[in-house]
Amino acid sequence: MSLPSDFLWGFATAAYQVEGATEQDGRGPTIWDTFCAVPGKIADGTDGSVACDSYNRTAEDIALLKRLGATCYRFSLSWARITPLGGRNDPINQAGIDHYVKFVDDLLEAGIVPFITLLHWDVPDELDKRYGGLLNRQEFPLDFEHYARVVFKSIPKCKNWITFNEPWCSSILGYSTGFFAPGHTSNRAKSAIGDSSREPWIVGHNLLVAHGRAVKVYRDEFKPTDKGQIGITLNGDYTYPWDPEDPRDVEAANRKIEFAISWFADPIYFGKYPDSMRKQLGDRLPEFTAEELALVHGSNDFYGMNHYTADYVKHGDGSPAPEDFLGDLSTHPYSKSGECIGPETQSFWLRPNPEGFRGLLNWLSKRYGYPAIYVTENGTSILGENDLKEPEILNDEFRYKYFHDYVNAMAKAVSEDGCNVKGYMAWSLMDNFEWAEGYETRFGVTYVNYADGQQRKEKYSAKKMKEIFDAVIEKK
C-alpha cells in the first residue's frame, strides 16, 4: 500500500478565512464582508476582518509549513485585492499583486509547491451590486476571465491553478438556502430577495462558463511557456443506500453524487448536465450555447477533490419541492439496519467515514476516465473542541486518527484500485474563520488563539502529519 515518490502533501486555506487585513493595501470589500455585517448571519457575530492575520504573517505561515514537512500549500487569492471593484475596466491594485508574487516566491524558496485558487467564494462586492454578481451570465464570466489573465501574467512561477472552490456551495448555500453570502433564498423570513428554485442553477451554469473562459486563457496564452496545469475543485460526500435491498435507495445514493458533483463534472468531462438533473429540473437548468459548451467541455487538466464525509441516502416520494437541490432524497447518519456513518463532530454535516473516501475516489475515477486527482481539502472538526483550553485543545487525537485513516484509504485507492491521485492538501493549516459558523468551529492542525494576538501553536495532528505520509509514500 503506497503512494508514488513524487506525491505532494500539505495543507489548504482560503483568503477570507485566514488573511484578515480587509482594509489594508487597497483591498476592496467582498460579498462576505457585506454578509458578515448583517446581524444574525454569522453564528458568533464575527467576521474575517482580522481572522488569523495571515496577510501580515506570511513568513510565519511558511515557517510553520516547513516545520510540519509540507511539500505543497493551497491558498486562495482575494480578487478584491487585485481589482478592488472586480470589473475588467476597473483599476488594478499593484500592492495586492505584489503581495501574492512575493508570497509565491517565498514558498518556492522554502521548497513548497503553491496551488492557487482564484476564487474561494469572496466575490468583489461591487460586482454583486453592479450587475447581480454570479447571476449575470454575460458580465461575470468576462470579468473573471480578465482577473484570471491579470493573475496568470503576474505569477508565472505558479504551475498549479484552481479556478473555483466548490461551486456547489456558491450556488446552493449562496442562492438557495441563503446560509452563505450573498444570502439569496426564497425564504422571505431570511431574505427579501432570491428564488431557490431557479437562481442556484443559473449561478452554477455561470460559474462553469467563467471557469471555461479562465482555462482557455491559461491554455492559449500562458501554458505553452509556463508549463502549468489548471482545473476546478468540486465538493461532494460519498453515499450508501439507506436500504441496500431497495433499488430506489441504490439509485438515490448515486443520484445524490450526481446532483452534488456531476452537476459540474459532467459538463466538463462529457459536455452535458446529468440526465437525472435535467429530468427533475427541466428548463430551470440552463442549456449550454455552442460557444459556452466549447469553453466548458474538456476544461480540466486535473480534478480538484474536496471531501469530508459520507451519508446514508433514502429515496424521496417522486414529487420534490421546487427548491429541492438534493435530487428527491434525504440523507441520514444511520442506515435501515442501524449502522452509523461515523462519530459526531462539531459540524452537523460531518462524520468521519474513511471507507467512503476510497469509495468516492473510485466512483470519480470510473466515471471520468481515471483523471489526475488532487485532493484539495480533507479534514475534520471535533465536537466541543472550541470549549477546551490549553493544553487540552492541542491534544487533537480525534483529528490525527481522521487523517491517518483517510490517508491510508487514499493510499489503497491508488495502490490497489488504480486511482490516479497526485497530491493531498489537509483542511486546514490552522483554525480559521469557518464562514457562517464564525470562530466556534475549528478545523486546524494548528491552534490559533484569537484572544491573544492570533498566536499559533501546533496540535498533536500537526506534528504527526509527516509521519502519516512517510509511512505510505515510496522512498525516492
**CA-CA distance, 358 to 377, in Å (whole number)?**
15
- Residues noted as catalytic: 166, 377
- Determine which helix (DSSP H) or strand (DSSP E) holds 402, and give its type and residue range: helix 397-415
Cell of 246: 431497495
**CA-CA distance, 382 to 397, in Å (whole number)?**
10
Q: What is the CA radius of gyration of the chain?
A: 21
Please report, for residues 6, 72, 168, 331, the alpha-carbon distance to residue 439 in angstroms, rounded to integers and kept in the order given. 35, 26, 23, 27
Length of the chain: 476
Region class of 378: left (phi > 0), else alpha (psi between -120 and 50), else beta: beta
CA 422-264-229 angle, to 5 degrees, is: 35
Please report, for residues 16, 52, 431, 447, the alpha-carbon distance to residue 452 in angstroms, rounded to integers and kept in the order given. 20, 11, 14, 12
Question: What are the residues whose beta carbons fall under 8 Å from the beta carbon of 459, sequence distance 6 or more?
Answer: 393, 394, 395, 396, 399, 444, 445, 446, 447
**CA-CA distance, 16 to 14, in Å (whole number)?**
6
Residue written as grid cell 429540473: 281
DSSP 30: B
Residue 8 three-state SS? strand
What SS3 string covers 181-206?
A: CCCCCCCCCCCCCCCCCCHHHHHHHH
The amino acid that residue 464 corresponds to is: K
The amino acid that residue 180 corresponds to is: F
